[in-house]
Amino acid sequence: MNPRYFIDTIYLSNVKKKTKPCKKEIIKQIKKYNKPEIDICEKIKKIPYYFCFFSPILEYNLLDRVDSYIIVSREKLIPFHDFFKKINKNEKIVHILSSYRHLVEGIQKLNTIGILYGNYESIGFNYQNQPIMFNFERNQTKIQYLPIEVHIISFLTKTNNKSLSISNIREICDNFLSKTPSYEPNEVKKCVNIFSYLVNKPSNDIIEDMKIRMNTWDLYGIAMLYFSLLETIPDRENILFFEEILKKSLSIDPSMRMSIDDVISSMNMFSLEFTS
């Protein structure tokens, strides 16, 4: 059974706003029961106005007791890349800026309850053209959206190494940069220098060090997603400041990445310049 299979539209409900009533379409989806995801969704539903940023599992019913498949109700969303394919260049720029800011605010809300999102390809647009995060299953993140700290942790976990040598670090940096389109191969040396302090450190200490800037990991993944969008716009001189925000969020050095507050502050400044 395909857990991504949407079976049909269940109902249309009027969502009354102060402006005008809108219709929100709810669909049913068959998927494998995943308790960690259910638990995360329950936490998210306690966030005030969570529905402006997230589409958690609203309710579910057990489909069978053998394979533990469930039917869940979700808001119907337009897939992220499909949304940007249907609009022209000027609309694309406006929606890139507004949707990025909206997602960063959503990430900030998740951080306050200790949740790392990670599923950056599970973002869609609702009936109000706002980006919504859904699918809160763990371990679904594609490798290109992960910062180098995760690669270091993964290397230690897979190899069972008690520590790292300088050649280990060079190997990790080389593999990381070769799969990351926003970096140049000549940055391997810089990467090795940044993480050379890890040489001969106990693996447990290294892992704890790598988790210190975990609150930048979602910003990194979202920045990678939007950087690929910018590459589809040939003439983007008027949004170079936004491109710089993304690059700072994609820094190899975790200590040099922008915080969520810094990003929001920079986007506020950029919005004033962009609209003036």
The pair of structure tokens assigned to 234 is 């040939």
Across 26-40, 167-181, 187-201, the highest mean pLDDT is recorded for: 187-201
Beta strand ranges found along the chain (DSSP E)? 6-15, 22-32, 60-62, 69-75, 78-79, 123-125, 131-133
Mean pLDDT of the chain: 84
Phi, psi of 235 (to 5 degrees): -110, 100
pLDDT in tens, 126-165: 888 899 999 898 776 777 788 999 999 999 999 999 999 9
Q: Is the confidence at residue 115, as pLDDT, over 80?
A: yes
Residue 202: the pLDDT is 97
Q: Is 227 helix (H, G, I), strand (E, B) or coil?
A: helix
Q: Is the confidence at residue 273, as pLDDT, over 70?
A: no
Q: Is the confidence at residue 274, as pLDDT, over 70?
A: no
The CA distance from 104 to 264, in Å, is 7
pTM of the model: 0.84
Residue 183: the pLDDT is 66
Residue 122: the pLDDT is 87
28 pairs with which residues across the strands? Answer: 8, 73
The pair of structure tokens assigned to 58 is 């609203």
> Greater confidence, 141 or 52?
52
Q: Which of 166, 168, 140, 167 is nearest to 153 (CA)?
A: 168
CATH topology of domain 77-276: Transferase(Phosphotransferase); domain 1 (1.10.510)
Residue 182: the pLDDT is 60
Q: Is the confidence at residue 21, as pLDDT, over 80?
A: no
The structural domains of the chain, with segments of one domain joined by +, span: 1-75, 77-276
